[in-house]
């Protein structure tokens, strides 16, 4: 490992980004590199390395300057990266309320199809952790594990709760330029998916940043957050009372603005047995109506009979979502 | 539901087994049936019914006369049972230390391949629960969730810890004759698999009861428990000090007794990164040597590079184990 590190250093590119501040006691790898040189860019600490479906799942963390916290993120490298110089495309998965990067890695069953198609998987965390804002850990649907993947404008949340910037700028820049992992990942071929709050995140980031992602899909997304209890609570807390501001972060409002005939390249699954769909927290019908009004195309919205909101639902259709992304990532 | 129940009652067979004692407040379905008649045999309480890979996962419980406790068991019915009168074969999965029927259902991903092959899945619990034997809940590797799937002979464990009888007699008899689920399950086509302690359970029950199972497989089995710390602790506690008695429940000792040329129909996977393999808790090499000494055939023992002891390992090879069982169940 030391020899491998030394060998790499001789060929490592000049530093493009400042090294993250190091907690040397917890960062053996980074520590070793830091001692040898400061010209290498190894931004992640590997907490676990797990063999999965012929590839490797890495549980990582890195110091984020956007959130001001140590951010957990998991990365799955499919078997195709082994002994290959060709970079693989990337599918980003945004998790739902209460989740960490672990839940989907353990229960989502994406690795099975990702390994077949040769696509890497990136699982960011659902919020910053440990900022100690008042009320941060008091409810499952606001604060920790409930960022809604937006940039908060309200005190105290605007400090750290800048997940939109983290996900669209800092994380990809750090990951795709990382000295250890970047050489395997093609930052020019990225798609995004997510579940529930993460489905909202995937749909909104895709619509806010045209061209950043090759395609999008979602499982049981909160598709019209301005009009459901979960979204109203989160947007009021993070964005304030102005509902016009909320519309900038609502997939149903965002899709109204796409040009007629736009190919959305979008797959959405919703289970008819999903209690949150039944409770009108998801409102895919509003999103579908807005797509039709806008005259956009390429939305495949499927209602899956009897499926609930759980990872059993996600696992059952993960292969379809990987194949949807592969249509555009491997084109 | 009531109508469906009433319709069933008119055609239900006479009672072959006594009804389990009912906790009416918690057993709405059983309650209704009990009020209508006592001639129906519906032995399970459904705690959850979850759509998964086109089939249905049932989280069940039933009153066991063998253990004297309410036993949890999960059942996956593949999509093939829907609108079909043909019964499907059954794969039984025995879980490892600390587990319940939930872990493998959530993280093992057998359902993906079971749905493709049309095989039902039965996940029993890892021990009786709540007998309140002294020390029952004091360690992860003895007592609750650590039955080792044998019939204990020592006090106090011989009371209730009779998992071998439960798994080979009461559970299949109850399940395959159940008025709600039995009509879908072919009790004449059953295979068995398991992980770690459950791999020990699968291998030993298969070797103890020739003909009861069509085939066997195991993930990281405790293959020679008489010779490893986990097995020594469990066998001493459940079976006493006589190591000759231990041999009757040790796969490596049992396989020595098979006839030369016996086709074991056995698939075993072990990860080379498995800390418990490295710590000599599993000892597959002893089992393999015993198979060779006995002149038995049909053992496929695979060492999977870098895989650990986790469900990531199980999920990665679940499809292979389902296909191994399918070779014999669907022959």
Pick from B51, B54, B310: which is nearest to A50 by CB?
A: B310
Instruction: Assign B86 a pLDDT band (cuts: 50, 70, 90).
Output: confident
Chain A residue nearest residue B305, CA to CA:
A51
Stated as kind and residue range, the H or E segment containing A49 is strand A45-52
* Residue A83, pLDDT score: 72
Mean pLDDT score, A252-263: 98
Instruction: Assign B76 a pLDDT band (cuts: 50, 70, 90).
Output: very high
CA distance A52 to chain B (A): 6
Mutating which of A101, A315, A320 best tests the B interface, going by the most B Cβ atoms within 10 A?
A315
Task: Count Cβ neighbours within 10 Å for each residue of B167-200 and write b for 16 or more, e otherwise.
Answer: bbebbbebbbbbbbbbebbbeebbbbbbbbbbbb
CB contact under 8 A, B315 and A51: no
* Residue B84, pLDDT score: 79
Instruction: Assign B161 a pLDDT band (cuts: 50, 70, 90).
Output: very high
What is the three-class DSSP state of A282? coil
> Where is average pLDDT lowest: A223-237, A280-294, B33-47, B85-99?
B33-47
Express each pLDDT in B271-306 by its tens digit. Answer: 999 999 999 999 999 999 999 999 999 999 999 999
* Residue A86, pLDDT score: 87
* Residue A84, pLDDT score: 79
Instruction: Assign A164 a pLDDT band (cuts: 50, 70, 90).
Output: very high
> Where is average pLDDT lowest: B4-8, B155-159, B301-305?
B4-8
Chain A residue nearest residue B273, CA to CA:
A51
Please report residues of B whose CB lies closer than 8 A to that of A50.
308, 310, 312
CB contact under 8 A, A51 and B311: no
Task: Count Cβ neighbours within 10 Å for each residue of B110-132 and write b for 16 or more, e otherwise.
Answer: bbbbbbbbbbbbbbbbbbbbebe
Please report residues of B whose CB lies closer than 8 A to that of A306.
51
Overall residue count recorded for chain B in this entry: 331
* Residue A35, pLDDT score: 40
Express each pLDDT in A79-116 by its tens digit. Answer: 999 877 789 999 999 999 999 999 999 999 999 999 99
Spatial CB neighbours of A24, under 8 Å, sequence gap ≥ 6? A30, A31, A34
* Residue A203, pLDDT score: 99
Catalytic residue among A127, A274, A321, A324: A274
Q: How far apart are CA A110 and CA A317, in angstroms?
A: 9
Mean pLDDT score, B59-88: 95
Express each pLDDT in A297-310 by its tens digit. Answer: 999 999 999 999 99
For this structure, is A52 an active site residue?
no
CA distance B190 to chain A (A): 25
Please report residues of A whose CB lies closer than 8 A to that of B310.
50
* Residue A143, pLDDT score: 98
Chain B residue nearest residue A272, CA to CA:
B51
Q: Which fold has domain B35-222+268-281+305-329?
A: Rossmann fold (3.40.50)
Q: How far apart are CA A275 and CA A290, in angstroms?
A: 23
Please report residues of B whose CB lies closer than 8 A to that of A315.
52-53, 109, 111-112
Q: Is residue B220 within 8 Å of residue B228, measured between CB atoms?
A: no
State the catalytic residues of B. Answer: 196, 274, 309
């Amino acid at each position: 490992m030391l020899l491998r590190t030394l060998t790499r250093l001789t060929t490592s590119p000049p530093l493009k980004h400042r090294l993250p501040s190091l907690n040397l006691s917890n960062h053996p790898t980074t520590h070793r590199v830091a001692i040898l040189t400061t010209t290498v860019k190894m931004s992640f600490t590997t907490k676990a390395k797990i063999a999965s479906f012929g590839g490797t799942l890495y549980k990582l963390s890195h110091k984020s300057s956007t959130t001001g916290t140590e951010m957990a993120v998991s990365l799955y490298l499919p078997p195709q990266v082994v002994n290959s110089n060709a970079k693989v495309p990337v599918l980003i998965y945004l998790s739902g309320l209460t989740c960490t990067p672990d839940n989907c890695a353990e229960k989502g069953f994406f690795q099975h199809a990702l390994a077949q198609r040769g696509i890497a998987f990136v699982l960011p965390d659902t919020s910053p952790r440990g900022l100690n804002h008042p009320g941060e850990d008091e409810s499952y649907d606001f604060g920790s594990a409930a960022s809604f993947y937006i940039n908060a404008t309200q005190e105290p949340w605007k400090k750290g709760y800048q997940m939109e910037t983290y996900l669209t700028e800092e994380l990809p820049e750090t990951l795709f330029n990382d000295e250890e992992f970047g050489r395997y990942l093609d930052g020019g071929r990225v798609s995004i998916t997510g579940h529930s709050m993460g489905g909202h995140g995937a749909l909104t980031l895709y619509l806010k940043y045209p061209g950043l992602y090759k395609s999008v899909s979602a499982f049981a997304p909160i598709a019209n957050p301005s009009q459901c209890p979960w979204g109203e609570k989160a947007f009021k807390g993070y964005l304030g009372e102005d509902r016009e501001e909320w519309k900038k972060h609502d997939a149903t409002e965002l899709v109204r603005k796409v040009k007629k005939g736009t190919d959305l390249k979008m797959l959405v699954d919703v289970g008819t047995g999903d209690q949150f769909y039944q409770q009108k927290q998801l409102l895919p019908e509003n999103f579908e109506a807005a797509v039709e009004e806008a005259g956009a195309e390429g939305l495949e919205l499927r209602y899956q009979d009897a499926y609930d909101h759980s990872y059993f639902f996600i696992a059952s259709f993960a292969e379809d979502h990987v194949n949807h992304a592969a249509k555009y990532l491997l084109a």
